[in-house]
Structure 1
């Protein structure tokens, strides 16, 4: 934050804005009966005024209530964790083929609960909404939620799942039940927009924004999709955050507190196994949103519930900005994602095994002339065939093995999974260069 009286005034104004937001949340009406057919249920977080996070039984009751409310919502089980907890998908809105699909993945890291609370609240609000604007959005959009993407980690308040695995580093290998469930949703529903909700710890004064955002930086994300993703982050979510009284920045980028110029980058690269980048490579407009978890003010340090409410509210603001973006740029989003999905059948060009949109890949990180495809032995395919299928990668029998062509929608994903030079490849495929 800027030093001196002007900076102090801005900080004071922002604290007043945040306090006002917290007061609105605290004053929300109390539901008499969550079982009443037309009475919106409340989360455990809301009922406690932010003093505790919503428990699994409370989540189950809330989702059952919205599922019963009408045909606008459906809830289905898409997997089971190692400890036996359900992984659920909530579908809200239009099922028409022409509908644009948005996927919200909530709290992959179990010790980052604010995104999950924002998703649960938003599910309820969308399910019971009667206003014209929301009804119009839902008439042309299907909104998917994985409301608790890491149930075992949430129960233990740990970043990883019950095996200690970081789910957000498993979107290539798909070794976790959680990662596999998310991949299946992306494959089967083909969302045009994917929003990944997280939290982060600040490092004042260089990295202490209320909300940080980022788009897919992988160079293998189609440029048109990446441009839409950056526009979503910079022209929609960040301005909405500022309008709501929150300051915002880029995830992983430290800035000078006086000039606002970048100082260093500590995260937010083009690593393909992270959902933000995997989304772009799979032709979806991608967004990462991170709310600041540690206390912002002395009042938040004294009252953890105030801190929790601010974190959740900032995530809700970001979600609403995503919905506004979808409503405003539906045509542009559809055009960008359709072109990206079909380009792999007809377009050539390099495949990148490193780098990012702000970092050159280097000579060793580029397949300037990618092969026509990769041959796998029967044993190799037996080991990774399920993962290829979950990624939506197509293959065909080839003698005693399998051939995976590059000429497919997942063209740039294939070398990432099968080329020996790729950092997180699943197996060493035999490159076919006889094009």
Structure 2
């Protein structure tokens, strides 16, 4: 197993806690003592050397301690789950409008905890760093973290939330409190980069890398955002993970174990309701990251804690690549996201209701001459006005209902929400052909 690498290694950050494998001390399930004001707190996962995941109450104590660690950290409540658990957003770094904003969404699926643990220790390491290079990075970068995007699912160790809904299939409908909170952050904080941390079950020998990654494939993502996202994957995250000793591949694509050639694709399409794709349509450079759950070595099979440590360490290696990308490519990131936001005011090209970057949309799925907008009756508007607002879609009164023009930043999103032919549309708007 490759050791955990220092966070923001390429920036020279000082690693602030001992490597997970350096201690064999486990802690009992009871909460740990409150940390001193300037002493970096540790997660229960770290203190148990990977023997157990950090509990909900322990997370709250940990974040409270991190929040007391300095002026550069904020911890805000952005929502509440059906079972009353807090949805929280941690902010670290520069709040200046010109800073590059990076958003980490951790453990949308409650039974995929390694990304959450990586996010928690990342929050701590950045909050307490005294390393000059890392502090320079934070002086021009705003890191936003949703440490547990599905608290009810994490408490129950289930993929879905307390209602059994897969949050990562709710980024169009926005029916869950969890997806609504994420949409609010994206709308209000306008992150340039969104990074979504998950885990997967391997199918050897054709689908069993340490990490799988994938950029937004939806064909309505602008070329600038799409290409920057691929650069994040292919030139930063995967090479950095490889340097740390972890194998990687493209999520959902099975490969021949001898040649490495693609065999078939089983996931990773262009569905707009998945965060990876929704984020791209909303102008953010982004990436899905998936670490392998399954034990591989004899040591991992004999001791689940060894397997757990590898899962978290691989996520941390991938995060290192993300931060290197954010630091070195901030000019390109800003240009790509700005161009994407501006395109909706001038673009007159087609909108695609299906397909992906590697699978052309069928002719019936292409709006070759999109309408100028969509009219909504009073009843239909009442049903979806909150969701439109959460998506950041502009609309105006139209009689008793509303009119949603295509000429706006959210141009490529509007038909996916309102056209009756779109697979996951919110409601059926009446297309307006007269511009």
With structure 1 as the length reference, what TM-score do the two structures score?
A: 0.94
Q: Which residue of 2 aligns with 1:434?
A: 434
Q: Once the 2 structures are TM-superposed, how far is the Cα of residue 33 of structure 1 from its aligned partner?
A: 6.4
* Correspondent of 1:25 among 20, 25, 32: 20
Q: Once the 2 structures are TM-superposed, how far is the Cα of residue 134 of structure 1 from its aligned partner?
A: 1.1
Q: For residue 264 of structure 2, give the secondary structure of its aligned residue in structure 1.
A: strand
* 1:237-261: CA deviation from partner (whole Å, max 9, x where unpaired): 0001110000000000000000000
108-117 vs 394-403, which moves further: 394-403
Instruction: State the alpha-carbon separation in 1 of the partners of residues 433 and 4 from structure 2.
Output: 62
Q: Which residue of 2 aligns with 1:304?
A: 304
Q: Which residue of 2 aligns with 1:396?
A: 396
Q: 1:83 to 1:330 in 2, by over 3 A?
A: same
**CA-based RMSD:** 1.7
With structure 2 as the length reference, what TM-score do the two structures score?
A: 0.94
Q: Which runs of 5+ in 1 are unaligned?
A: 1-14
Q: Once the 2 structures are TM-superposed, how far is the Cα of residue 39 of structure 1 from its aligned partner?
A: 0.7
Q: What is the 5 A alignment of 1:131-210?
A: 131-210=131-210
Q: Once the 2 structures are TM-superposed, how far is the Cα of residue 362 of structure 1 from its aligned partner?
A: 1.3
Q: Once the 2 structures are TM-superposed, how far is the Cα of residue 286 of structure 1 from its aligned partner?
A: 1.1
Instruction: State the alpha-carbon separation in 1 of the partners of residues 24 and 341 from structure 2.
Output: 45
Q: For residue 346 of structure 1, give the secondary structure of its aligned residue in structure 2.
A: coil
Q: Once the 2 structures are TM-superposed, how far is the Cα of residue 35 of structure 1 from its aligned partner?
A: 2.0
Q: What is the 5 A alignment of 1:400-419?
A: 400-419=400-419
The number of residues matched between the two structures is 419
Q: 1:19 to 1:377 in 2, by over 3 A?
A: closer
Q: Once the 2 structures are TM-superposed, how far is the Cα of residue 399 of structure 1 from its aligned partner?
A: 1.4
Contact residue 212 and residue 291 of structure 2 kept, 8 A: yes
Q: For residue 68 of structure 2, give the secondary structure of its aligned residue in structure 1.
A: helix
Q: What is the 5 A alignment of 1:4-83?
A: 15=1, 17=2, 24-27=19-22, 34-83=34-83
Q: Once the 2 structures are TM-superposed, how far is the Cα of residue 298 of structure 1 from its aligned partner?
A: 1.4
Q: Once the 2 structures are TM-superposed, how far is the Cα of residue 37 of structure 1 from its aligned partner?
A: 1.5
Contact residue 218 and residue 355 of structure 1 kept, 8 A: yes
Q: Which residue of 2 aligns with 1:221?
A: 221
Q: For residue 269 of structure 1, give the secondary structure of its aligned residue in structure 2.
A: coil
Instruction: State the alpha-carbon separation in 2 of the partners of residues 24 and 421 from structure 1.
Output: 52
Q: Which residue of 2 aligns with 1:119?
A: 119
Contact residue 34 and residue 40 of structure 1 kept, 8 A: no
Instruction: State the alpha-carbon separation in 2 of the partners of residues 243 and 92 from structure 1.
Output: 27
Q: Once the 2 structures are TM-superposed, how far is the Cα of residue 58 of structure 1 from its aligned partner?
A: 1.0
Q: Which runs of 5+ in 2 are unaligned?
A: 7-17
Q: For residue 345 of structure 1, give the secondary structure of its aligned residue in structure 2.
A: coil
Instruction: State the alpha-carbon separation in 2 of the partners of residues 135 and 392 from structure 1.
Output: 32
Instruction: State the alpha-carbon separation in 2 of the partners of residues 135 and 206 from structure 1.
Output: 42
Q: Which residue of 1 aligns with 2:277?
A: 277
Q: Which structure: greater helix fraction?
A: 1
**Residue 109 in structure 1 maps to residue 104 in structure 2:** no
Q: Which residue of 1 aligns with 2:370?
A: 370
Instruction: State the alpha-carbon separation in 1 of the partners of residues 310 and 331 from structure 2.
Output: 33
Q: Once the 2 structures are TM-superposed, how far is the Cα of residue 34 of structure 1 from its aligned partner?
A: 4.7
Q: Which residue of 1 aligns with 2:250?
A: 250
Q: Once the 2 structures are TM-superposed, how far is the Cα of residue 29 of structure 1 from its aligned partner?
A: 10
Q: For residue 149 of structure 2, give the secondary structure of its aligned residue in structure 1.
A: coil
Contact residue 70 and residue 128 of structure 2 kept, 8 A: no
Contact residue 33 and residue 41 of structure 1 kept, 8 A: no
Q: Once the 2 structures are TM-superposed, how far is the Cα of residue 24 of structure 1 from its aligned partner?
A: 3.8
Q: Once the 2 structures are TM-superposed, how far is the Cα of residue 72 of structure 1 from its aligned partner?
A: 0.4
Q: For residue 322 of structure 1, give the secondary structure of its aligned residue in structure 2.
A: helix
Q: Once the 2 structures are TM-superposed, how far is the Cα of residue 198 of structure 1 from its aligned partner?
A: 0.1
Q: 1:183 to 1:20 in 2, by over 3 A?
A: closer
Instruction: State the alpha-carbon separation in 2 of the partners of residues 133 and 430 from structure 1.
Output: 54
